[in-house]
């Protein structure tokens, strides 16, 4: 039915993965770093769904996994944002550069 | 149906405790004293629960498996958390959010339990996340401290990142094998590059958790920033849990890749010991110092893991047990001192012996055990780890490890020196030790002394470990 | 004959030493002298009795004196056939020696009773004396070459203790150290010699050793002569090394430097150790191994001969120039021992050719008496004058007649004037030298003359010279002491002098050749007067010269000295041997070996250890940047780690 | 007889000390414990003689074997032969002397005596254990307390010395560990299980290449303990900074742990390698002897003098082991015992002098014989023993080493022997310089108020001197004691030639 080969999708997910990583490395704003992580997770989701759909369509492991990831990502984001808010309280900034008191 | 309860007894106990705490939170506001007494009692029950109705079996079509070994491992962790809770008494008794703290802690413990008995990558992932995310919150538990929030931030970001990579690896494994169940994965493992790459990602996920160089960098900062209780929790409990899983996954699931992961571990362990030692030399904050020393310890554990034998797995479990005793003994003193005086620097401990001989001895014994000096248990733990490593016949690694022990001796003895020998006109004042921390210390010291000398512990563990 | 009684000879002094050493200071503060003397008297009696039994009762088996092993106990076993056996060996020389040692020691004990009176460490002194007597007796009775080494060391130690008896005098400390270290150095040779002999002969027992190394064709002899090191056979090595040990103890040139300094010790000690007994140990050792030297290694024996002769002459020359009376005596001792040594050297084994051996032993015997007499006399003088310098003395013949007479007898004896003891023994030696080696004979004669000269130089300048009275001498010293100034000491000091004088008179008449010869068989000696003319005349010439120069106060002597010029100076400075040693030890050993060793240890060996530590610290400081505190860089390292591993394990190791 | 009592007794004593109050109680308990150790040691000696007289020819007596860690086939296996017994006696003597010398240890006396006795636990355990694991265990037990002893009660740059000593010795034991692990995984028992059991390993033949690989680890590891040449630098610093009792223990016993290990483990279990590496060992030993002696000559601090001379003297031990002849091995063991006693006595004397004059610099001392005759005599006796005077133990031991070394016909080895012999002259030089400057010579007026030794010091010195003389005057009993043990070792070693 669909004519898009698996490889294309894997390319997409990989691209997404690295975009996310790039964002994580370069962004100074914690929120955007968090978003980049979401990108990574989504690329993983795509992987799972794609594999499931193309290779192992008989079972739904991948799909379920993806759903779980989405859920947990939400939880993670919630906690992360809570922490970031607290950080903002104490540091008056959410720039990752400012939170480097502990080092060496 | 009854199986369900018996096989999941430890998880269920913890859940019950968590809910109980939640309900208490809602319906009543008791004094901290009361809460702490009760919680410690509950934790004791939780620890005791492990000893009854041992049963082996699978649940949720092999997603959840229970073996005597997992029971033992969970019990070790339960003991650990009990000790930590006893120790953090003097910190918590004036704290606003005692219950929340315990709820967070226990939910992470729950996650670890699931992780330990996971028979499936999905379950494993869930357990991992459950054991990580609440910890980040707990790390931030000194809400007004800058360091605390910074630590929490670092922990959540890097752990999210690592779990992203881990997931990517899992997805690749799923893609190449088509299943998530451990038992089904093994036959499909072939040495194709994609799988090895996937495995490396997975390994990195583990390595991050047990802070193996170069995935360790978060460790020191988080340990330093987080409250002492959380630090000790991170350094022993979560590390121990992941180690248990790591070993069983390596030895069972990825057995076919054993050749390549052996080399990887060889590399990583050497690197870890070295870097951990080199950084530990120059620390002044005692928590940060313990962080790096624990990194070095992990290096030794990896040396043991390379053995990939029954001996090796036994030694790892054994060492984790000993490590819990030793490290928690050290953290017990540190947490007491920092809770009362807020001092966390090694230089503050100068001439500590003059004012607090008992605490000094506890700390000294703990450090000796960490360094691996007989007759403390640490000696036996390290000895068996290195022996199991040597079993593979790779004496280069053993020599590296053995020589690195000298460096580690240096920095452990540095603290002993500070305690006993360095002059200091204003040493830390005489500290009053409440009952619970005292109990904790007795447990730890007892463990340090007897876990090694009495060989039954080791033999018991060995009897539970499946042959490889 | 009960061997246990023989064992008492050395053991009695040992017991005394232990008793006085442990409790002397507390309980026997004054009685210790009596105790020591008594015990020594006992062992003297026993030894004389033993000697008598040996010589006249059972020593002789069909005309030849046999060595008898009276006692033997395996003390320390290295390996089944190599073991140190503590034992007692009875044979002519050992018999002679025990009599000599105990007798002289007894005399010295008695003398010391008066001489050391009021000393603070009176008891200690006698303890040490007894220790020495024990060691010396053990030495002479040894059955085993390692046993002799043990007692060899012990006499060294006790001489160290006695020389350093006045421990608060830096000079005494220095002298004692010097004596011990120089002899120790020589003993090193002895030790290595023992190692070689023991390993090659597969025994340490004297009897077996000699028997194995003298019977031609015995496997051990073949082995030790054929294996060579640096082209010299092991036997030669071994025997020369052993002799070096002997030379050290007997102050042979060039190992003699310790002996003159050793005079720092109390004078009776010098009389006992550094005149009569210990210093002849070297001769005794050579005599002990004489068959081996004579039969298997005549080359070494020749060397001994030359060294002995050279020592004799040089010492005599130096003796002529010294002004410290004890030093003069010390050098004369050296020269006399040189005599004994070359006498051994010219000798051969057995029969008529063994004359030198017999002469040497004879001279050892007689010399012991008159030399100890000389020292004790000097002691008496010093005890009165409180000075060792000739210039402080003179004209003492009136104030101390007995000392004067006895001293004169001794001088005549040593000068070899008939019928005094020295004459007979010297005759034998000269005769042997004459037959053996003319050159040596010449040196010997020269020495004889010199001896007479310097001895009487000494005699005259002590007892004649300036016509001063004792009081003046005393005033010169401005000396105040608990001793009565006018007398020449207590009777306990005079008696030994008299006894020894008698001995020096008549010891020469002993028919020595019947008892002690190289092979044990008695030897018929003939005294032809024509031969003894030359030495006696020379001796008289020396005496007259001395009388001319020193009898009356005058500057003749100084003029003669000036005439000699640089030679005199050199002799006066003992031919600069001390300076050479000083140079070697201080400059070479300390600065070129010691300091570098210490420096290397401190800086290089230890430094490298510390360097290791510091570098570790520096590395850790260098790499601290990894822990930058930025969570992003952490992530980058994380990812880098993954990439690195992937690269390593996917592209390289697959 | 119950051999483990040798471990238990000091342990109990140590724990009892922790319960005591005040210096008086503590030291009394400590002394009682030490005395009990001594009695125990002697009773073992008597038992041993009885057994041997009864014709019991088994290599080890009073064996006790109990499985400790079954999975690794680790046993708690103890037993003694003459060598161990000699070492045990040595330990007993040194410990009691050390306790007596530190009789007036005011500072933290409880901890001090506790650590001291804990050390003796390690020493005894090491000497009796026949299982390499147990051996290693006790080896390390005997290290760390020294760190505290030196660091807390020491003098001078004590922290530095303590750290240096602990790290170097730990390095040594790390190497030993590698060696032992290597041995363990190359053993092949009948059951196929690996073993740590010393006697069993001695029975089987370890492949030569394996031996060659692991001998250096074991030998150098133990060698560090006994001041093997390039690794000896902990000795001077450690000894000089340590309190008297610790120095006595350190030089008297700890350095012997190394020698014993070199002999019992390295040489006995890996004889082929011992042959192969003999030249290196001998070279290093000779260097240590000569170079140590000359380095000593340059020292100005009494403790440094004795420390460096220990380097030189322990060289004899290694030389004896390296020469691999029956006699030389005997000599090595004799030297261990003799040096242990002698150096302990020396340190005791130095400690007594230091506690009175508050200086250890030779230049500042002098003429002490006048005011403190007893201490000075002790000092001189120790010195004479060190320079090998007959009648004292040093002579017997050194002579045996020389005699034994000479039995090895190799020309170069003999050169080494000659050099070693030459060292006795140098020894004489530095000992006499020290003695001459310290106890003899003119005395500075500052010292004329000094008091002589107290009863405890006299007792301590007396005991050691008695032991020294007992060996020096009658060496045969000790020789006969150790000979069977060394013979078994040498039978194994020589059987390969």
DSSP, collapsed to helix, strand or coil, labels residue B112 as: helix
Residue B375, preceding peptide bond in cis (omega within 30° of 0): yes
The chain-wide mean pLDDT, for chain B, equals: 91
What chain A residue is nearest to C635 in terms of C-alpha separation? A25
Residue C419, preceding peptide bond in cis (omega within 30° of 0): yes
Q: Which of D77, D184, D167, D182 is nearest to D128 (CA)?
A: D77
DSSP, collapsed to helix, strand or coil, labels residue C135 as: helix
- The tens digit of pLDDT for each residue in B113-158 reads 999 999 999 999 999 999 999 999 999 988 888 899 999 999 999 9
Q: Which of D255, D186, D235, D254 is nearest to D215 (CA)?
A: D186
Question: Average pLDDT of C480-493?
Answer: 59
Among A24, A97, A101, the residue with its CB nearest the CB of C635 is A24
- Paired strand residues for D197: D131
d(CA D368, CA D382): 15
Measure in Å the smallest separation between the Cα of D276 and chain C Cα atoms: 25
- The tens digit of pLDDT for each residue in D203-222 reads 888 889 999 999 999 999 99
For residue D181, list chain B residues with Cβ-Cβ distance below 8 A.
Answer: 386-387, 390, 395, 398
Contact B373/D144, CB-based, under 8 Å? yes
Using H for helix, E for strand and C for coil, what is the string for D66-124? EEEEHHHCEEEEEEECHHHHHHHHHHHHHHHHHHHHCCCCCCCHHHHHHHHHHHHHHHH
Residue C439, preceding peptide bond in cis (omega within 30° of 0): no
DSSP, collapsed to helix, strand or coil, labels residue A100 as: coil
Q: Beta-carbon neighbour count of residue D358 at 10 Å?
A: 9
**Tokens (6 digits) for C204:** 């340490």
d(CA C132, CA C17): 9
Residues C582, C566, single domain; the answer is no
Among A25, A102, A103, the residue with its CB nearest the CB of C632 is A25
Q: Where are the domains of chain D?
A: 5-494
What's the burial of B209, exposed, middle or buried (CB within 10 Å: 0-12/13-18/19+)?
A: buried
Cα B459 off chain centre by? 22
Higher pLDDT, C295 or C489: C295
d(CA D274, CA D270): 6
Q: Look up the domain containing B423 and give its range.
A: 2-464
The reported pTM is 0.92
The beta-strand segments (E) located in C128-172 are none
Residues C462, C558, single domain; the answer is yes
Residue B316 has pLDDT above 90, yes or no: yes
Residue C299 has pLDDT above 60, yes or no: yes
d(CA D194, CA D180): 12
Residue A35 has pLDDT above 70, yes or no: yes
Contacts of C490 (CB under 8 A, 6+ apart): C113, C114, C117
**Global ipTM:** 0.90
Measure in Å the smallest separation between the Cα of C603 and chain B Cα atoms: 22
B interface with D, Cβ–Cβ below 8 Å: 311, 314, 368, 373-375, 379, 383-384, 386-387, 390-391, 393, 395, 398-399, 402-403, 405-406, 409-410, 413, 416-417, 420-422, 455, 458-459, 462
As for how many domains chain B has, the answer is: 1
Q: Please, what is the angle between helix D475-494 and helix D326-357, to 10°?
A: 130
Q: Look up the domain containing A27 and give its range.
A: 6-93
A interface with C, Cβ–Cβ below 8 Å: 21, 24-26, 33, 96-97, 99-104
Contacts of D18 (CB under 8 A, 6+ apart): D110, D114
d(CA C618, CA C616): 5
- The tens digit of pLDDT for each residue in C225-271 reads 888 778 788 888 899 999 999 999 988 888 888 888 888 888 888 88
- The tens digit of pLDDT for each residue in B184-196 reads 999 998 888 889 9
Among B413, B455, B462, the residue with its CB nearest the CB of D163 is B413
Q: Which residue has the tokens 């008992």?
A: B358
d(CA D296, CA D305): 5
Gyration radius of chain A over CA positions: 17
User: Contact at 8 Å (CB) between D229 and D282?
Assistant: no
Mutation target to probe the D interface, by most D beta carbons within 10 A, among C135, C184, C190, C193 is C184
Contacts of D54 (CB under 8 A, 6+ apart): none
Contact B214/C649, CB-based, under 8 Å? no
Upper half-sphere CA count for residue B272 (Cβ side, 13 Å)? 29
Residue D269 has pLDDT above 70, yes or no: yes
d(CA B385, CA C242): 60
Among C77, C168, C180, the residue with its CB nearest the CB of D479 is C77
Longest dimension (CA), chain C: 119
- The tens digit of pLDDT for each residue in B433-445 reads 999 999 999 999 9
User: Contact at 8 Å (CB) between D134 and D76?
Assistant: yes
Residue A70 has pLDDT above 90, yes or no: yes
Residues C469, C596, single domain; the answer is no
Cα D372 off chain centre by? 29
Torsion (CA) B368, B372, B377, B383 in degrees, nearest 10: -170
Gyration radius of chain B over CA positions: 21
Contact B387/D181, CB-based, under 8 Å? yes
Write the CATH number for A34: 1.10.287.3510
d(CA D187, CA D133): 14
Q: Which residues of B43-80 are buried (b: 16+ CB within 10 A; e: fewer)?
A: beebbebbeeeeeeebeeeebbbbbebbbbbbbbbbbb
Residue C393 has pLDDT above 80, yes or no: no
d(CA C346, CA C343): 5
Contact D171/B406, CB-based, under 8 Å? yes
Residue D463 has pLDDT above 90, yes or no: yes
What pLDDT score was predicted for residue C472? 47
Question: Average pLDDT of C8-35?
Answer: 87
Residue C157 touches partner D, C-beta closer than 8 Å: yes
Residue B269 has pLDDT above 50, yes or no: yes
Rounded to whole angstroms, what are the CA distances from B146 to C36, C629, D436? Answer: 90, 14, 69
- The tens digit of pLDDT for each residue in B195-254 reads 999 999 999 999 999 999 889 999 999 999 999 999 999 999 999 999 999 999 999 899
Residues C587, C490, single domain; the answer is no
Within C206-265, residue ranges assigned H as helices are 206-214, 219-226, 234-249, 258-261
Mutation target to probe the C interface, by most C beta carbons within 10 A, among D296, D400, D403 is D403
What's the burial of D497, exposed, middle or buried (CB within 10 Å: 0-12/13-18/19+)?
A: exposed
- Paired strand residues for C229: C232
d(CA B174, CA B182): 11
Residue C516: inside a domain: yes
What pLDDT score was predicted for residue A102? 84
Residue B214, preceding peptide bond in cis (omega within 30° of 0): yes
Residues C522, C616, single domain; the answer is no
d(CA B176, CA B192): 9
d(CA D100, CA B273): 44
As for how many domains chain C has, the answer is: 2
Residues C608, C561, single domain; the answer is no
Residue C372: inside a domain: yes
Residues C434, C470, single domain; the answer is yes
Measure in Å the smallest separation between the Cα of D309 and chain C Cα atoms: 12
d(CA D92, CA D38): 5
For residue A79, list chain B residues with Cβ-Cβ distance below 8 A.
Answer: 133-134, 136-137, 156
Residue A101: inside a domain: no
What pLDDT score was predicted for residue A2? 59
What chain A residue is nearest to B134 in terms of C-alpha separation? A79
The chain-wide mean pLDDT, for chain C, equals: 84
Q: Which of B11, B67, B13 is nearest to B45 (CA)?
A: B13
d(CA B434, CA C191): 72
Q: Which residue has the tokens 């220095």?
A: C174
Q: Look up the domain containing C595 and give its range.
A: 578-621
d(CA D156, CA D161): 9
Q: Which of B170, B86, B92 is nearest to B138 (CA)?
A: B92
Residue C518 has pLDDT above 90, yes or no: no
Residue C481 has pLDDT above 50, yes or no: no
d(CA C417, CA C366): 13
**Tokens (6 digits) for C349:** 């084994």
User: Contact at 8 Å (CB) between B14 and B45?
Assistant: no
What chain D residue is nearest to B377 in terms of C-alpha separation? D137
Q: Which residues of D12-39 are buried (b: 16+ CB within 10 A; e: fewer)?
A: ebbebbeebeebeebbebbbebbebbbe
Torsion (CA) C590, C592, C598, C600 in degrees, nearest 10: 180
Within B282-376, residue ranges assigned H as helices are 286-306, 310-340, 352-355, 357-371
- The tens digit of pLDDT for each residue in D140-177 reads 998 889 999 999 998 888 899 999 999 999 999 999 99
d(CA D317, CA D310): 11
Residues C585, C443, single domain; the answer is no
């Amino acid at each position: 039915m669909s004519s898009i080969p698996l490889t294309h999708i894997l390319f997409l997910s990989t691209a997404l993965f690295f975009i996310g990583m790039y964002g994580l490395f370069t962004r100074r704003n914690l929120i955007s770093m968090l978003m980049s992580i979401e990108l990574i997770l989504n690329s993983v989701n795509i992987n799972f769904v794609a594999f499931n759909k193309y290779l192992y369509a008989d079972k739904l492991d991948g799909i379920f996994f993806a759903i779980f990831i989405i859920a947990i990502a939400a939880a993670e984001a919630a906690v992360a944002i809570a922490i970031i808010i607290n950080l903002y309280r104490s540091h008056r900034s959410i720039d990752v550069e400012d939170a480097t008191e502990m080092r060496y | 149906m009854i199986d369900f309860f018996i096989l999941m007894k430890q998880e269920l106990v913890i859940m019950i405790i968590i809910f109980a705490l939640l309900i208490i939170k809602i319906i009543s506001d008791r004094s901290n004293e009361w809460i702490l007494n009760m919680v410690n009692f509950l934790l004791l029950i939780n620890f005791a629960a492990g000893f009854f109705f041992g049963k082996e079996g699978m649940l949720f079509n092999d997603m959840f498996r229970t073996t005597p070994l997992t029971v033992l491992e969970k019990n070790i962790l339960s003991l650990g958390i009990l000790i930590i809770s006893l120790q953090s008494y003097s910190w918590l008794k004036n704290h606003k959010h005692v219950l929340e703290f315990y709820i967070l802690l226990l939910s992470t413990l729950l996650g670890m339990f699931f992780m330990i008995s996971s028979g499936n990558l999905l379950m494993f992932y869930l357990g991992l996340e459950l054991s990580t995310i609440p910890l980040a919150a707990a790390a931030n538990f000194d809400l007004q401290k800058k360091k605390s929030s910074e630590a929490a931030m670092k922990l959540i970001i890097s752990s999210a990142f690592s779990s992203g990579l881990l997931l990517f690896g899992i997805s690749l494994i799923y893609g190449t094998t088509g299943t998530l169940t451990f038992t089904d994965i093994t036959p499909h493992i072939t040495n194709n590059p994609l799988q090895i790459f996937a495995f490396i990602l997975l390994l990195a996920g583990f390595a991050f958790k047990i802070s193996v160089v170069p995935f360790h960098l978060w460790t020191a900062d988080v340990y330093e920033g987080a409250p002492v209780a959380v630090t000790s929790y991170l350094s022993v409990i979560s590390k121990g849990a992941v180690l248990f899983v790591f070993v069983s996954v390596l030895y069972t699931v990825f057995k076919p890749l054993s050749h390549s992961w052996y080399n990887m571990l060889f590399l990583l362990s050497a690197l870890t010991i070295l870097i951990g030692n080199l950084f530990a030399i120059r620390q002044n904050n005692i928590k940060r110092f313990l962080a790096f020393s624990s990194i070095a310890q992990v290096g030794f554990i990896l040396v043991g893991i390379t053995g990939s034998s029954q001996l090796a797995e036994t030694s790892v479990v054994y060492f984790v047990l000993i490590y819990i005793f030793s490290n928690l003994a050290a953290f017990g003193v540190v947490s007491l001192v920092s809770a009362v005086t807020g001092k966390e620097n090694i230089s503050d401990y100068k001439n500590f012996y003059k004012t607090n001989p008992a605490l000094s001895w506890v700390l000294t014994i703990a450090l000796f055990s960490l360094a691996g000096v007989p007759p403390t248990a640490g000696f036996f733990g390290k000895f068996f780890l290195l022996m199991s490593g040597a079993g593979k016949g790779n004496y280069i690694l053993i020599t590296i490890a053995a020589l690195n022990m000298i460096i580690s001796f240096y920095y452990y003895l540095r603290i002993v020196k500070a305690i006993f020998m360095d002059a200091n006109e204003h040493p830390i004042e005489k500290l009053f030790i409440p009952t619970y921390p005292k109990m904790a210390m007795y447990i730890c010291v007892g463990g340090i002394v007897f876990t090694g000398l009495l060989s039954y512990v080791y033999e018991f563990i060995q009897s539970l470990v499946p042959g490889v | 004959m009960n061997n246990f009684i023989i064992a008492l000879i050395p053991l009695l002094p040992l017991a005394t030493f232990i008793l006085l050493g442990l409790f002397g200071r507390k309980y026997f503060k004054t009685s210790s002298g009596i105790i020591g003397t008594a015990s020594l008297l006992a062992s003297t009696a026993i030894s004389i009795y033993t000697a008598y039994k040996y010589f006249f009762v059972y020593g002789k088996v069909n005309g030849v004196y046999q060595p008898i092993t009276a006692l033997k106990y395996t003390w320390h076993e290295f390996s089944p056939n190599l073991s140190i056996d503590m034992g007692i060996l009875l044979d002519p020389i050992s018999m002679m020696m025990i009599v000599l040692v105990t007798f002289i020691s007894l005399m010295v004990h008695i003398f010391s009773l008066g001489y050391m009176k009021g000393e603070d460490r009176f008891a200690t002194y006698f303890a040490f004396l007894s220790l020495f007597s024990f060691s010396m007796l053990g030495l002479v009775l040894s059955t085993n070459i390692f046993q002799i080494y043990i007692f060899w060391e012990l006499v060294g130690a006790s001489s160290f203790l006695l020389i350093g008896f006045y421990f608060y005098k830096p000079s005494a400390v220095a002298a004692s150290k010097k004596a011990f270290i120089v002899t120790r150095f020589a003993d090193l040779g002895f030790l290595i010699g023992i190692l070689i002999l023991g390993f090659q002969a597969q025994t340490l027992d004297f009897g077996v050793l000699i028997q194995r190394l003298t019977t031609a064709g015995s496997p051990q002899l073949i082995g030790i002569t054929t294996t060579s090191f640096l082209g010299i056979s092991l036997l030669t090595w071994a025997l020369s090394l052993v002799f070096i040990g002997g030379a050290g103890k007997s102050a042979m040139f060039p190992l003699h430097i310790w002996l003159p300094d050793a005079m720092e010790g109390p004078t009776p000690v010098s009389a006992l150790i550094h005149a009569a007994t210990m210093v002849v140990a070297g001769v005794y050792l050579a005599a002990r191994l004489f068959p081996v030297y004579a039969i298997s290694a005549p080359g070494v024996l020749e060397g001994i001969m030359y060294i002995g002769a050279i020592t004799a002459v040089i010492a005599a020359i130096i003796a002529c120039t010294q002004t410290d009376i004890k030093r003069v005596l010390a050098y004369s001792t050296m020269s006399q021992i040189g005599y004994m040594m070359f006498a051994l050297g010219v000798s051969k084994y057995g029969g008529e050719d063994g004359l030198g051996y017999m002469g040497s032993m004879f001279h050892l015997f007689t010399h012991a008496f008159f030399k100890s007499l000389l020292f004790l006399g000097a002691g008496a003088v010093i005890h009165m004058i409180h000075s060792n310098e000739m210039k402080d003395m003179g004209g003492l013949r009136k104030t101390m007649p007995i000392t004067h007479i006895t001293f004169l007898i001794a001088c005549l004896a040593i000068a070899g004037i008939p019928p005094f003891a020295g004459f007979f023994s010297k005759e034998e030696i000269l005769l042997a030298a004459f037959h053996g080696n003319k050159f040596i004979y010449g040196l010997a004669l020269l020495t004889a003359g010199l001896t007479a000269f310097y001895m009487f130089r000494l005699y005259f300048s002590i007892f004649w010279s300036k016509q001063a009275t004792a009081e003046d001498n005393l005033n010169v010293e401005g000396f105040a002491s608990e001793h009565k100034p006018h007398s020449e000491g207590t009777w306990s000091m005079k008696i030994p002098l008299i006894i020894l004088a008698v001995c020096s008179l008549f010891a020469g008449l002993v028919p020595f050749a019947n008892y002690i010869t190289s092979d044990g068989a008695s030897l018929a000696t003939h005294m032809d007067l024509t031969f003894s003319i030359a030495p006696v005349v020379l001796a008289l010439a020396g005496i007259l010269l001395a009388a001319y120069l020193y009898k009356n106060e005058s500057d003749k002597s100084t003029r003669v000295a000036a005439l000699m010029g640089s030679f005199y100076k050199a002799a006066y400075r003992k031919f600069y041997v001390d300076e050479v040693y000083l140079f070697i030890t201080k400059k070479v050993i300390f600065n070129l070996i010691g300091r570098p060793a210490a420096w290397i240890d401190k800086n290089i060996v230890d430094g490298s250890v510390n360097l290791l530590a510091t570098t570790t610290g520096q590395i850790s400081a260098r790499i601290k940047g990894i822990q930058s505190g930025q969570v992003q860089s952490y992530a980058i390292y994380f990812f880098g780690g993954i990439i690195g591993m992937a690269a390593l394990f996917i592209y390289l190791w697959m | 007889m119950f051999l483990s009592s040798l471990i238990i007794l000091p342990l109990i004593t140590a724990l009892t000390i922790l319960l005591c109050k005040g210096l008086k109680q503590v030291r009394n308990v400590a002394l009682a414990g030490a005395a009990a150790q001594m009695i125990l040691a002697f009773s073992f000696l008597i038992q041993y003689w009885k057994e041997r007289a009864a014709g019991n020819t088994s290599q080890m007596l009073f064996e006790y074997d109990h499985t400790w860690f079954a999975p690794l086939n680790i046993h708690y296996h103890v037993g003694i032969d003459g060598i161990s017994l000699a070492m045990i006696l040595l330990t007993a003597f040194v410990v009691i002397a050390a306790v007596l010398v530190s009789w007036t240890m005011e500072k933290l006396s409880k901890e001090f005596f506790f650590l001291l006795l804990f050390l003796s636990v390690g020493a005894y355990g090491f000497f009796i254990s026949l299982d390499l694991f147990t051996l290693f265990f006790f080896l390390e037990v005997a290290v760390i307390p020294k760190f505290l002893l030196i660091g807390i009660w020491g003098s001078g740059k004590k922290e530095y010395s303590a750290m240096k000593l602990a790290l170097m010795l730990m390095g040594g034991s790390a190497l030993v560990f590698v060696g032992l692990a290597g041995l363990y995984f190359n053993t092949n028992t009948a059951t196929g299980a690996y073993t740590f059991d010393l006697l069993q390993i001695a029975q089987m033949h370890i492949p030569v290449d394996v031996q060659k690989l692991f001998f250096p680890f074991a030998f150098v590891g133990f060698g560090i303990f006994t001041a093997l040449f390039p690794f000896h630098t902990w000795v001077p610093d450690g000894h000089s900074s340590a309190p008297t009792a610790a120095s006595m223990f350190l030089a008297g016993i700890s350095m012997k742990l190394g020698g014993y290990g070199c002999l019992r483990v390295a040489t006995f279990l890996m004889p082929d390698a011992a042959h192969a590496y003999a030249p290196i060992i001998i070279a290093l030993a000779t260097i240590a002897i000569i170079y140590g002696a000359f380095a000593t000559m340059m020292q100005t601090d009494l403790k440094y003098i004795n420390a460096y001379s220990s380097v030189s003297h322990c060289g004899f031990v290694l030389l004896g082991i390296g020469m691999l002849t029956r006699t030389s091995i005997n000599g090595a063991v004799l030297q261990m015992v003799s040096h242990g006693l002698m150096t302990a006595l020396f340190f005791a004397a130095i400690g007594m002098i230091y506690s009175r004059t508050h200086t250890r610099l030779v230049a500042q001392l002098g003429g002490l014989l006048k005011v403190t005759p007893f201490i000075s005599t002790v000092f001189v006796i120790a010195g004479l023993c060190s320079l090998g005077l007959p009648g004292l133990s040093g002579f017997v031991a050194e002579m045996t080493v020389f005699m034994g070394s000479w039995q090895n016909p190799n020309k170069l080895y003999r050169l080494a022997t000659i050099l070693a012999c030459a060292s006795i002259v140098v020894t004489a030089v530095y000992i006499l310089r020290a003695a001459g400057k310290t106890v003899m010579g003119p005395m500075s007026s500052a010292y004329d108020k000094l008091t002589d030794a107290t009863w405890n010091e006299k007792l301590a010195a007396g005991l050691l001197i008695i032991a020294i003389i007992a060996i020096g005057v009658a060496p045969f009993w000790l020789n006969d004691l150790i000979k069977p043990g060394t013979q078994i070792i040498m039978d194994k070693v020589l059987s390969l030639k």
